[in-house]
Structure 1
């Protein structure tokens, strides 16, 4: 029986979960909590990454199951250190063990694991690239490169002997203008890139940016290892597209909410005597609209559920607010003045 289940609970798997199940669970959790996602949670992203770092390594997972999280982190539990002494039969003592010089798990470690696992391009099995070569997997562990399957750069000295890592590739941000209809319906935008290849040559690449219904201006979509090749990193830059909403001739989003605002022009006469008009909604539906009583300038009417989709709540939408814009006269003829004075 395992000593504690916190890490398994973070990934929503059982203590008997297979390696494949742990990888898939990490993919799901990392994509959900990544800080660049609308559902992002920086601290949760760090926690699930550390859980994966421990549970995806056979040795560290065994330590966690037997002694708990602090032991797996390389910290001795209170009330005595069962890891002391290389000759005591303890598998964690001496050179190559977890004691001494422990490196606390950081946000940088979390992002590094996410990048090594393929970033936003991770497949259903948790991987998106080959099992050998730069950035690949070696030694039977997803982070290869170090003895015992430790994350690349740890080598045979355990946590106390971390070697220098290659610098992380740059992240290059670029705007992606999209229409309000694109943000309503969702869809795919194809972006043609001209980038530097392995030897500095120019090459073309077409990326498909999947836009989900209800996304807002400022949403960031990352493509790991798709930009210019950087020799010092032995990897390509990360491309980050930032959504920008194009102005719409009729509708306007109400700040960062899911509500839409539409102005309805009416004449001064219509504001007093009423009117019958049509409004076309963002999804192309005809909405009959009529008034029989006077309408105050800049007053409004609210129509629930006719706004933008709510990305975090599929099937639900914001509201549509109709604001009446009265073409108020700037002058009156003597006859018009007389009519008003007679009837009001």
Structure 2
């Protein structure tokens, strides 16, 4: 079955959640169950075939391991190592020479540090290649993937002709799609990096020195001198993500603040706070 067909059969997108898959399966299974289409033999046969497709698609996509294999290779080996024809495709069109099967896409997750600094990764891939007699053989190969500093989620890395190949067809392209792992401190927004910094109320009023570790391992010292009002954001120029298309340039580091208020104050403390703030207003 070609890449993406299981998703089309269940009428869901490639990012569908388990719950969305389950709902789609139940809806289609009820519609195409053979017991509901038993009045005419031709309709029953069509329903049985459709129900089998739906069940097969759900069996693969609802299993995380099977789904990962399917997303990577474009098919899941059920009863055959061959890639099945697409729905409605006749024997003649399937055997046309010089036909190129669809590209195979697979997500590849990187840490924010890797996307900041750039990195190299080796991937072992397996693909089906026909010999001179048309018999499919499995070929393994090590591919080197180079990530440039600043690449974003969704960037595609294409290896032409490194996907599966059917007899009489050109090999498919193999495409890796960059994904981004969540980071404990930083969040990426475009070319900017955003952090949420907790500070005490007293620090929001009188200032604070922040010590941050950058994604390339530098120690960054930042002075907060302004009064941190609600919605205040401190912008540090050129300390965001590298801009891949503009070497040497970076986005900004944006610091948002979460001011922590004291849980209680004594009567004396309330008096002092009121006195100090009253003087500040004058």
TM-score with structure 2 setting the length: 0.58
Instruction: Choose which of 177, 188, 206 in structure 2 pairs with 1:242.
Output: 177
Q: Report the counterpart of residue 343 of structure 1 in structure 2.
A: 276
Q: Is 1:298–1:326's contact at 8 Å kept on the other side of the alignment?
A: no
- Give, in whole Å, the separation in 2 of the partners of 1:230 and 1:308: 42
2:124 aligns with 192
CA deviation map 1:21-58 (0-9, x unaligned): xxxxxxxxxxxxxxxxxxxxxxxxxxxxxxxxxxxxxx
- CA-CA distance at 1:170 after TM superposition: 1.8
Tell whether 2:253 aligns with 1:327.
no
Stretches of 4+ aligned residues off by more than 3 angstroms: 329-336
Following TM superposition, by how much is the alpha carbon of 1:330 offset from its aligned partner in structure 2, in angstroms? 4.9
**Per-residue Cα deviation, 1:221-277 (whole angstroms, up to 9, x for no partner):** 1111112222141x32211111111111111111xx211112222112211222222
**Pair 292,320 (structure 1): closer, same or farther in 2 beyond 3 Å:** closer
Q: Note the aligned Cα RMSD (angstroms).
A: 2.0
Query: Is contact 2:100-2:171 (8 Å) kept?
Result: no
Distance in 1, matches of 2:261 and 2:229, equals: 11
- Does residue 316 of structure 1 match 2:249? yes
Unaligned runs of 5+ in 1: 1-163
Counterpart in 1 of 2:147?
Answer: 211
Residues 130-158 of structure 1, C-alpha deviations (whole Å, 9 max, x = no match)? xxxxxxxxxxxxxxxxxxxxxxxxxxxxx
Aligned length: 178
Residue in 1 that maps onto 2:163? 227
* 258-267 or 215-224, larger mean C-alpha shift: 258-267
Q: In structure 2, what is the Cα distance between the partners aligned to 1:165 and 1:195?
A: 20
Cα deviation code 1:93-149 (max 9, x no counterpart): xxxxxxxxxxxxxxxxxxxxxxxxxxxxxxxxxxxxxxxxxxxxxxxxxxxxxxxxx
In 1: Cα distance, 2:105 partner to 2:136 partner: 21
Q: Deviations over 1:51-81 (max 9, x none)?
A: xxxxxxxxxxxxxxxxxxxxxxxxxxxxxxx
Which residue pairs with 2:28 in the alignment? none
2:186 paired residue number: 251
Residue 293 (structure 1) shift: 4.7
Q: Is the contact between residue 268 and residue 326 of structure 1 (CA under 8 Å) also seen in structure 2? A: yes
Q: Name whichever structure is richer in strand by fraction.
A: 2
Q: Which runs of 5+ in 2 are unaligned?
A: 1-95, 278-282
Conservation of the 8 A alpha-carbon contact between 1:282 and 1:307? no
Q: Report the counterpart of residue 178 of structure 1 in structure 2.
A: 110
Q: Structure 2 CA distance, aligned partners of 1:311 and 1:294?
A: 35
Q: Deviations over 1:178-204 (max 9, x none)?
A: 111111111212111132232323332
Alignment TM-score, normalising by the size of structure 1: 0.48
Q: Which structure is larger by alpha-carbon Rg, 1 or 2?
A: 1
Alpha-carbon distance in structure 1 between the residues aligned to 2:153 and 2:266: 48
Name the CA shift for 1:241/1:293 in 2 (closer, same or farther; >3 Å).
closer
